[in-house]
Chains A and B, each alone.
Chain A
Amino acid sequence: QGTEVAFGTVQQDTSLPVEVSADALSVSQNDGSALFTGNVIIGQGDMRLSAPRVLVYYTENQSGIERLEATGGVTLVNGDQAAEAESAEYEVNRGTIRMVGNVLLTQGANTLVSDSMDVDLEAGTAQMNGRVRTVFQSGHN
Protein backbone atom coordinates (compact mmCIF):
# COMPACT_ATOMS: atom_id res chain seq x y z
CA GLN A 1 0.00 0.00 0.00
CA GLY A 2 1.23 3.54 -0.39
CA THR A 3 0.19 7.15 -0.25
CA GLU A 4 0.10 9.58 -3.13
CA VAL A 5 1.63 12.91 -2.24
CA ALA A 6 2.05 16.10 -4.26
CA PHE A 7 5.71 16.74 -4.83
CA GLY A 8 7.20 19.82 -6.37
CA THR A 9 5.34 23.03 -6.91
CA VAL A 10 4.77 22.90 -10.65
CA GLN A 11 4.73 20.22 -13.37
CA GLN A 12 8.35 19.72 -14.22
CA ASP A 13 9.27 19.99 -17.88
CA THR A 14 11.37 16.88 -18.18
CA SER A 15 12.82 17.83 -21.52
CA LEU A 16 14.89 20.54 -19.85
CA PRO A 17 18.64 19.87 -20.04
CA VAL A 18 20.02 17.97 -17.10
CA GLU A 19 23.15 19.43 -15.58
CA VAL A 20 25.50 17.32 -13.51
CA SER A 21 28.38 18.86 -11.61
CA ALA A 22 30.86 16.85 -9.57
CA ASP A 23 34.46 16.77 -8.42
CA ALA A 24 35.48 13.98 -10.75
CA LEU A 25 34.15 11.75 -13.47
CA SER A 26 35.76 8.51 -14.58
CA VAL A 27 34.75 6.89 -17.85
CA SER A 28 35.81 3.30 -18.38
CA GLN A 29 36.94 2.55 -21.88
CA ASN A 30 35.65 -0.90 -22.57
CA ASP A 31 32.08 -0.72 -21.29
CA GLY A 32 31.84 3.08 -21.43
CA SER A 33 30.23 3.27 -17.98
CA ALA A 34 30.80 6.61 -16.25
CA LEU A 35 30.99 7.26 -12.52
CA PHE A 36 30.69 10.69 -10.92
CA THR A 37 32.33 11.02 -7.51
CA GLY A 38 32.65 13.83 -5.01
CA ASN A 39 29.52 15.82 -4.02
CA VAL A 40 27.64 15.24 -7.23
CA ILE A 41 24.68 17.53 -7.91
CA ILE A 42 22.19 16.64 -10.63
CA GLY A 43 19.90 19.48 -11.55
CA GLN A 44 16.95 19.91 -13.87
CA GLY A 45 14.66 22.90 -13.66
CA ASP A 46 14.37 23.55 -9.92
CA MET A 47 14.94 19.90 -8.96
CA ARG A 48 18.30 19.16 -7.32
CA LEU A 49 19.48 15.67 -6.54
CA SER A 50 22.77 15.46 -4.67
CA ALA A 51 24.77 12.39 -3.69
CA PRO A 52 28.41 11.40 -3.14
CA ARG A 53 28.45 8.89 -6.00
CA VAL A 54 26.43 8.68 -9.21
CA LEU A 55 26.76 5.98 -11.84
CA VAL A 56 25.66 6.74 -15.39
CA TYR A 57 23.88 4.10 -17.52
CA TYR A 58 23.73 4.79 -21.25
CA THR A 59 20.97 3.73 -23.65
CA GLU A 60 21.73 0.56 -25.64
CA ASN A 61 22.70 2.39 -28.79
CA GLN A 62 24.99 4.65 -26.76
CA SER A 63 23.07 7.67 -28.01
CA GLY A 64 22.25 9.14 -24.63
CA ILE A 65 21.93 8.65 -20.90
CA GLU A 66 19.20 6.28 -19.81
CA ARG A 67 19.42 6.56 -16.03
CA LEU A 68 21.56 7.89 -13.20
CA GLU A 69 22.02 5.77 -10.10
CA ALA A 70 22.94 7.82 -7.03
CA THR A 71 24.16 6.00 -3.94
CA GLY A 72 25.66 6.74 -0.57
CA GLY A 73 22.95 8.98 0.91
CA VAL A 74 20.84 11.01 -1.50
CA THR A 75 18.94 14.23 -0.94
CA LEU A 76 16.34 15.42 -3.44
CA VAL A 77 15.07 18.98 -3.30
CA ASN A 78 12.24 20.24 -5.44
CA GLY A 79 10.76 23.62 -4.68
CA ASP A 80 10.14 23.72 -0.92
CA GLN A 81 10.00 19.94 -0.43
CA ALA A 82 13.01 17.79 0.31
CA ALA A 83 13.42 14.04 0.43
CA GLU A 84 16.30 11.94 1.71
CA ALA A 85 17.07 8.29 1.09
CA GLU A 86 19.98 5.88 0.87
CA SER A 87 19.93 5.61 -2.90
CA ALA A 88 17.98 6.91 -5.87
CA GLU A 89 17.54 5.96 -9.52
CA TYR A 90 16.75 8.80 -11.89
CA GLU A 91 15.28 7.73 -15.26
CA VAL A 92 16.32 10.81 -17.15
CA ASN A 93 14.21 10.43 -20.28
CA ARG A 94 11.07 9.42 -18.44
CA GLY A 95 11.55 12.02 -15.72
CA THR A 96 10.97 9.66 -12.79
CA ILE A 97 13.06 9.17 -9.64
CA ARG A 98 12.84 6.05 -7.50
CA MET A 99 14.25 6.53 -4.00
CA VAL A 100 14.96 3.50 -1.86
CA GLY A 101 16.15 2.97 1.73
CA ASN A 102 14.33 4.71 4.64
CA VAL A 103 13.01 7.60 2.64
CA LEU A 104 12.27 10.74 4.63
CA LEU A 105 10.08 13.35 2.91
CA THR A 106 9.59 16.74 4.54
CA GLN A 107 6.81 19.02 3.30
CA GLY A 108 6.80 22.28 5.10
CA ALA A 109 6.14 21.21 8.72
CA ASN A 110 5.23 17.54 8.47
CA THR A 111 7.47 14.69 7.49
CA LEU A 112 6.70 11.27 6.01
CA VAL A 113 8.93 8.23 6.38
CA SER A 114 8.69 5.13 4.18
CA ASP A 115 10.76 2.34 2.66
CA SER A 116 10.74 3.64 -0.88
CA MET A 117 9.25 6.45 -2.91
CA ASP A 118 8.55 6.97 -6.64
CA VAL A 119 8.64 10.57 -7.77
CA ASP A 120 7.11 11.53 -11.10
CA LEU A 121 8.65 14.90 -11.91
CA GLU A 122 6.38 15.47 -14.87
CA ALA A 123 3.16 15.06 -12.91
CA GLY A 124 4.68 16.57 -9.78
CA THR A 125 3.55 13.65 -7.61
CA ALA A 126 5.39 11.25 -5.29
CA GLN A 127 4.12 7.76 -4.47
CA MET A 128 5.41 6.54 -1.14
CA ASN A 129 5.18 2.77 -0.72
CA GLY A 130 6.05 0.31 1.99
CA ARG A 131 5.30 1.22 5.61
CA VAL A 132 4.49 4.92 5.59
CA ARG A 133 4.63 6.81 8.88
CA THR A 134 3.86 10.47 9.19
CA VAL A 135 5.03 12.84 11.88
CA PHE A 136 2.96 15.97 12.40
CA GLN A 137 4.45 19.06 13.95
CA SER A 138 1.50 19.98 16.05
CA GLY A 139 0.89 23.37 17.51
CA HIS A 140 3.74 25.80 17.90
CA ASN A 141 4.22 27.38 14.45
Chain B
Amino acid sequence: MYSRLIAWLKILLPLGALILLSTIFLYSRGPDPISTIPVLSGGGDPSKTEQIGSPFYAGTTENGQGLTLAARQARMLDSDGAGVVADDLRAVIDVRDGNRITIDARTGRMQEGDMLLLRDGVTLESSSGYTVTTNGLNAEIDRVAIESTEAVDATGPGLTLSAGKLRVEESSDTNDIQLLFTDGVKLVYTPQPNEAE
Protein backbone atom coordinates (compact mmCIF):
# COMPACT_ATOMS: atom_id res chain seq x y z
CA MET B 1 0.00 0.00 0.00
CA TYR B 2 2.81 2.29 1.02
CA SER B 3 4.88 1.73 -2.14
CA ARG B 4 1.82 2.35 -4.39
CA LEU B 5 1.25 5.68 -2.65
CA ILE B 6 4.87 6.71 -3.19
CA ALA B 7 4.65 5.67 -6.82
CA TRP B 8 1.58 7.84 -7.34
CA LEU B 9 3.25 10.74 -5.55
CA LYS B 10 6.30 10.48 -7.75
CA ILE B 11 4.03 11.19 -10.73
CA LEU B 12 1.58 13.67 -9.28
CA LEU B 13 4.03 15.94 -7.53
CA PRO B 14 6.25 16.77 -10.60
CA LEU B 15 3.08 17.13 -12.71
CA GLY B 16 1.69 19.66 -10.19
CA ALA B 17 4.96 21.55 -10.25
CA LEU B 18 4.85 21.70 -14.04
CA ILE B 19 1.29 23.08 -13.97
CA LEU B 20 2.22 25.68 -11.38
CA LEU B 21 5.22 26.78 -13.48
CA SER B 22 3.19 27.13 -16.65
CA THR B 23 0.68 29.45 -15.04
CA ILE B 24 3.47 32.01 -14.66
CA PHE B 25 4.11 32.11 -18.44
CA LEU B 26 1.00 30.88 -20.18
CA TYR B 27 -1.74 32.49 -18.21
CA SER B 28 -0.03 35.84 -17.24
CA ARG B 29 -1.98 39.14 -17.55
CA GLY B 30 -2.59 40.04 -21.12
CA PRO B 31 0.02 42.76 -21.97
CA ASP B 32 -1.70 45.78 -23.54
CA PRO B 33 1.11 47.95 -24.98
CA ILE B 34 -1.16 50.68 -26.34
CA SER B 35 -2.73 51.96 -23.14
CA THR B 36 0.55 52.28 -21.21
CA ILE B 37 2.19 54.86 -23.59
CA PRO B 38 1.65 58.51 -22.26
CA VAL B 39 -0.33 60.05 -25.10
CA LEU B 40 -1.25 63.81 -25.28
CA SER B 41 -4.90 63.90 -24.50
CA GLY B 42 -7.36 66.72 -25.19
CA GLY B 43 -6.74 66.75 -28.92
CA GLY B 44 -4.03 69.49 -28.67
CA ASP B 45 -1.94 69.68 -31.80
CA PRO B 46 1.56 69.01 -30.43
CA SER B 47 3.30 70.95 -33.23
CA LYS B 48 1.50 74.14 -32.11
CA THR B 49 2.87 74.13 -28.57
CA GLU B 50 6.41 73.09 -29.29
CA GLN B 51 8.95 74.77 -27.05
CA ILE B 52 12.66 75.44 -27.31
CA GLY B 53 14.50 75.02 -24.02
CA SER B 54 17.00 77.82 -23.18
CA PRO B 55 17.20 79.29 -26.70
CA PHE B 56 20.27 81.40 -27.47
CA TYR B 57 20.71 83.95 -30.28
CA ALA B 58 23.92 85.77 -31.03
CA GLY B 59 24.49 88.29 -33.75
CA THR B 60 25.99 91.67 -34.49
CA THR B 61 24.15 94.86 -35.30
CA GLU B 62 24.80 96.77 -38.48
CA ASN B 63 27.78 98.68 -37.20
CA GLY B 64 29.47 96.02 -35.21
CA GLN B 65 27.86 95.99 -31.74
CA GLY B 66 27.59 92.40 -30.51
CA LEU B 67 24.10 91.33 -29.42
CA THR B 68 23.17 88.10 -27.63
CA LEU B 69 19.70 86.99 -26.56
CA ALA B 70 19.16 84.15 -24.10
CA ALA B 71 15.92 83.00 -22.49
CA ARG B 72 14.72 80.25 -20.17
CA GLN B 73 12.28 79.01 -22.78
CA ALA B 74 10.77 80.11 -26.08
CA ARG B 75 7.46 78.93 -27.53
CA MET B 76 5.57 79.58 -30.72
CA LEU B 77 2.54 81.83 -30.49
CA ASP B 78 -0.36 79.47 -30.97
CA SER B 79 -2.69 82.05 -32.59
CA ASP B 80 -0.99 82.69 -35.91
CA GLY B 81 2.29 81.09 -35.04
CA ALA B 82 4.02 84.13 -36.46
CA GLY B 83 5.60 85.50 -33.29
CA VAL B 84 7.79 83.65 -30.82
CA VAL B 85 7.37 84.34 -27.09
CA ALA B 86 10.36 83.90 -24.81
CA ASP B 87 10.22 83.79 -21.00
CA ASP B 88 12.82 85.25 -18.62
CA LEU B 89 14.69 86.82 -21.49
CA ARG B 90 18.10 88.46 -21.18
CA ALA B 91 19.53 90.59 -24.00
CA VAL B 92 23.15 91.76 -23.81
CA ILE B 93 24.56 94.43 -26.15
CA ASP B 94 28.35 94.58 -26.15
CA VAL B 95 29.51 97.96 -27.38
CA ARG B 96 32.82 97.89 -29.26
CA ASP B 97 34.80 99.76 -26.66
CA GLY B 98 33.92 97.31 -23.93
CA ASN B 99 30.77 98.92 -22.57
CA ARG B 100 27.76 96.74 -22.11
CA ILE B 101 23.98 97.11 -21.86
CA THR B 102 22.09 94.22 -20.27
CA ILE B 103 18.30 94.02 -20.50
CA ASP B 104 16.26 91.51 -18.45
CA ALA B 105 12.55 90.97 -18.98
CA ARG B 106 9.98 88.43 -17.87
CA THR B 107 8.54 87.99 -21.32
CA GLY B 108 9.86 88.98 -24.71
CA ARG B 109 7.88 88.62 -27.91
CA MET B 110 9.68 88.53 -31.23
CA GLN B 111 7.72 90.27 -33.97
CA GLU B 112 8.68 89.94 -37.61
CA GLY B 113 10.88 92.77 -38.79
CA ASP B 114 13.43 92.11 -36.05
CA MET B 115 11.49 93.90 -33.30
CA LEU B 116 11.58 92.44 -29.82
CA LEU B 117 8.77 93.54 -27.47
CA LEU B 118 9.93 93.18 -23.90
CA ARG B 119 7.21 93.31 -21.30
CA ASP B 120 6.70 93.32 -17.52
CA GLY B 121 9.57 93.61 -15.13
CA VAL B 122 12.05 95.02 -17.61
CA THR B 123 15.38 96.23 -16.23
CA LEU B 124 18.09 97.77 -18.38
CA GLU B 125 21.58 97.99 -16.87
CA SER B 126 24.27 99.98 -18.59
CA SER B 127 27.91 99.85 -17.63
CA SER B 128 27.89 103.64 -17.35
CA GLY B 129 26.30 103.05 -13.95
CA TYR B 130 22.64 103.53 -14.87
CA THR B 131 19.96 100.94 -14.08
CA VAL B 132 16.56 101.63 -15.62
CA THR B 133 13.36 99.81 -14.72
CA THR B 134 10.15 99.99 -16.70
CA ASN B 135 7.25 97.85 -17.79
CA GLY B 136 7.63 97.90 -21.54
CA LEU B 137 10.60 98.15 -23.88
CA ASN B 138 10.74 97.66 -27.67
CA ALA B 139 14.16 96.68 -28.97
CA GLU B 140 15.33 96.19 -32.53
CA ILE B 141 17.82 93.40 -32.86
CA ASP B 142 19.46 94.34 -36.14
CA ARG B 143 20.67 97.67 -34.73
CA VAL B 144 20.82 99.37 -31.37
CA ALA B 145 17.42 101.13 -31.10
CA ILE B 146 15.54 100.57 -27.89
CA GLU B 147 12.50 102.57 -26.85
CA SER B 148 10.40 102.35 -23.71
CA THR B 149 6.65 102.16 -24.10
CA GLU B 150 6.00 103.49 -20.61
CA ALA B 151 7.49 105.83 -18.04
CA VAL B 152 10.82 104.72 -16.64
CA ASP B 153 12.58 104.98 -13.30
CA ALA B 154 16.34 104.85 -13.13
CA THR B 155 19.15 104.92 -10.62
CA GLY B 156 22.55 106.28 -11.55
CA PRO B 157 25.78 107.11 -9.73
CA GLY B 158 24.47 108.51 -6.47
CA LEU B 159 21.20 109.66 -8.01
CA THR B 160 17.69 108.53 -8.85
CA LEU B 161 15.62 109.80 -11.74
CA SER B 162 12.29 109.25 -13.46
CA ALA B 163 11.35 110.16 -17.00
CA GLY B 164 8.43 109.85 -19.38
CA LYS B 165 10.32 107.81 -21.94
CA LEU B 166 13.72 106.26 -22.58
CA ARG B 167 15.37 105.82 -25.96
CA VAL B 168 18.69 104.03 -26.35
CA GLU B 169 20.28 104.71 -29.72
CA GLU B 170 23.57 105.02 -31.49
CA SER B 171 24.60 108.57 -32.26
CA SER B 172 25.60 108.44 -35.92
CA ASP B 173 28.73 110.58 -35.75
CA THR B 174 30.62 109.23 -32.77
CA ASN B 175 28.87 105.82 -32.95
CA ASP B 176 28.66 106.02 -29.17
CA ILE B 177 25.48 104.69 -27.62
CA GLN B 178 23.29 107.24 -25.85
CA LEU B 179 20.54 106.79 -23.27
CA LEU B 180 17.98 109.52 -24.03
CA PHE B 181 15.47 110.21 -21.27
CA THR B 182 12.70 112.46 -22.61
CA ASP B 183 9.16 113.63 -21.87
CA GLY B 184 10.17 115.41 -18.68
CA VAL B 185 13.04 114.23 -16.49
CA LYS B 186 13.17 114.52 -12.69
CA LEU B 187 16.46 113.73 -11.01
CA VAL B 188 17.32 113.73 -7.31
CA TYR B 189 20.92 113.71 -6.11
CA THR B 190 22.01 113.83 -2.48
CA PRO B 191 25.46 115.41 -2.24
CA GLN B 192 28.11 113.59 -0.25
CA PRO B 193 29.83 116.45 1.64
CA ASN B 194 32.84 114.30 2.51
CA GLU B 195 33.58 114.03 -1.19
CA ALA B 196 34.40 117.70 -1.34
CA GLU B 197 37.57 117.68 0.80
Contacts from A to B (Cβ < 8 Å):
14-15, 17-32, 34, 36, 58-59, 62-66, 91-95
Does B190 touch A at the CB level, under 8 Å? yes
Contact with A along B160-188 (1 / 0, CB 8 A): 01010000000100001111111111111
Q: Are A64 and B101 in contact (CB under 8 A)?
A: no
B residues near A94, Cβ cutoff 8 Å: 196
B residues near A14, Cβ cutoff 8 Å: 191, 193
CB distance from B129 to the nearest CB of A (A): 5
* A-B contacts, 15 listed (Cβ < 8 Å): A15-B191, A17-B191, A19-B187, A22-B184, A23-B185, A25-B185, A27-B126, A27-B179, A29-B99, A29-B177, A32-B128, A32-B157, A65-B157, A65-B158, A95-B191
Q: Are A23 and B184 in contact (CB under 8 A)?
A: yes
Other A-B pairs beyond A17-B188, A63-B158, 13, CB < 8 Å: A18-B191, A19-B187, A21-B186, A22-B184, A22-B185, A23-B182, A25-B180, A26-B178, A27-B128, A29-B127, A30-B176, A63-B195, A64-B189
Contacts from B to A (Cβ < 8 Å):
95, 97, 99, 101, 126-130, 156-159, 161, 163, 171, 176-193, 195-196
A residues near B180, Cβ cutoff 8 Å: 24-26
How many angstroms from the CA of A127 to the CA of B74 in the assembled complex?
A: 65
A residues near B156, Cβ cutoff 8 Å: 27, 34
B residues near A93, Cβ cutoff 8 Å: 191-193, 195-196
Quick one: closest A residue to B169, CB to CB? A26
A residues near B178, Cβ cutoff 8 Å: 26-29
Contact among B182, B187, B192 for A64, CB-based, below 8 A: B192
Q: Knowing A28-B176, A92-B191, A93-B192 are in contact, say whether A62-B185 is a contact too (CB < 8 A).
A: no
Q: Knowing A28-B176, A62-B129 are in contact, say whether A36-B185 is a contact too (CB < 8 A).
A: yes
Q: Are B187 and A25 in contact (CB under 8 A)?
A: yes
Q: Knowing A21-B186, A64-B157 are in contact, say whether A29-B179 is a contact too (CB < 8 A).
A: yes
Quick one: closest A residue to B97, CB to CB? A30
How many angstroms from the CA of A51 to the CA of B101 in the assembled complex?
A: 31
How many angstroms from the CA of A93 to the CA of B191 in the assembled complex?
A: 5
Interface centre among A14, A15, A29, A63 (most CB of B within 10 A): A29
Quick one: closest A residue to B192, CB to CB? A64
